[in-house]
Amino acid sequence: MIPYGLQWIDEEDKEEVMKVLGSDWLTTGPKVGEFENALCKYVGCKHSVAVNSGTSALDIAVGALDLPEGSEVITTPFTFAATSNALLYNRLKPIFADIQKDTRNIDPEDIRRKITPKTRAISYVDYAGHPCDIKEIKEIAEEYNLYLIEDACHALGASYYGKKIGSFADLTIFSFHPVKPITTGEGGAVVTNNSELEERARLLHSHGIDKSATERYGPDASWAYDMKMLGRNYRMTDIQAALGISQLKKLDGFIEKRTEIANLYNELLDNIEFIETPSIKGVVTSGWHLYTVLLKGVDRDKFFKYMRGNGVGVNVHYIPIYNFSYYRNNFDICSTEFPITEEVFKNIITLPIFPKMEFTQLQYVIETIKGFV
């Protein structure tokens, strides 16, 4: 089975992890701070809080805004459930806006239509590694005095008008799951240029306690600390951080590989009539976390079953969030409000793409697709 995504771990990565395993600090140690600093330097932001998953990063980012209970946050329904679940964790109400067909990203025009007096923030997702129309979204946020959260779990290493994703929104989220641009096994991070938001996010990621373990360690350290917020244990380990530091050095190379594969797909799929390849806007550099196509005149579920049956690990990204039982049972949302999301969902399929993918594997995917006819 050729998977739709796969990590690339080399000997250097393993060596860095082994160094930590032989050290005194397996967690709450110096490697976490080192990784946070490296991430800030890479994306061009001032502050970073490393955590144990992208979902945890979303939770503390939303929590750091400290919005009144019941506030509305506009977001996309075409994403993994964690994006809107993080709003629910913080007793906020997700308001979904439709997407654009070409990029699968949230539509700024529909964001504007969904704003009410209760709207306090916009949480947008850079789908498949393709940055959103950030300029238009920021203009809306400034006009209505809204916070911006950028769910860039797909887009570490991507850029918008030549600038790395990570400093456009008030808070930006990254994920380091194995299929993401880089991996720490599981892991995530919140990055920001706002020191007040960083302070609250850092408190929330470690029980709300105001002093770290290293600050309470050593001959001159005090045992005293204060719990200032109701936080959780979302800390990243030094083992994960060491892997992240090593992986981050390879990120640009990973994206080059992904881009090469995406370009080959575009070329080799161009003459297949029932396949519509993805679009890239000229002002962005995509991270190509996913390579998705739209099927035309073909039953998506039959195509899915055929490809899986022939060893190609295609997938579907994503089931619209409002289709899940929890959301149907707790929110009055009608799918007819989202015609583009529905059209895309019924026809979308994810093809394998990962840096370690070999050309022979890509050829096999193409030939299998042709064999479906």
Residues 148-169 have a mean pLDDT of 98
pLDDT band at residue 217 using 50, 70 and 90 as cut-offs? confident
- For residues 124 and 160, give the distance between their C-alpha atoms in angstroms, rounded to a whole number: 14
- Percentage of the chain surpassing pLDDT 70? 100
Domain boundaries, the chain: 11-248, 252-371
Decide: 309 and 151 in contact? Cβ < 8 Å.
no
CATH topology of domain 11-248: Aspartate Aminotransferase; domain 2 (3.40.640)
Does the pLDDT at position 216 exceed 90?
A: no
Residue given tokens 């600050």 in the structure block? 215
How much is the pLDDT for 301?
97
Written in H, E and C, the secondary structure of 189-211 is EEEECCHHHHHHHHHHCECCECC
Architecture of domain 252-371 in CATH?
Alpha-Beta Complex (3.90)
Q: What is this structure's pTM?
A: 0.97
Output 354-360 pairs: Cβ under 8 A, ≥24 positions apart: 354/3, 354/4, 354/5, 354/6, 354/7, 354/8, 354/179, 354/258, 355/8, 355/253, 355/254, 355/257, 355/258, 356/6, 356/8, 356/257, 357/2, 357/6, 357/257, 357/261, 359/264
Decide: 57 and 29 in contact? Cβ < 8 Å.
no
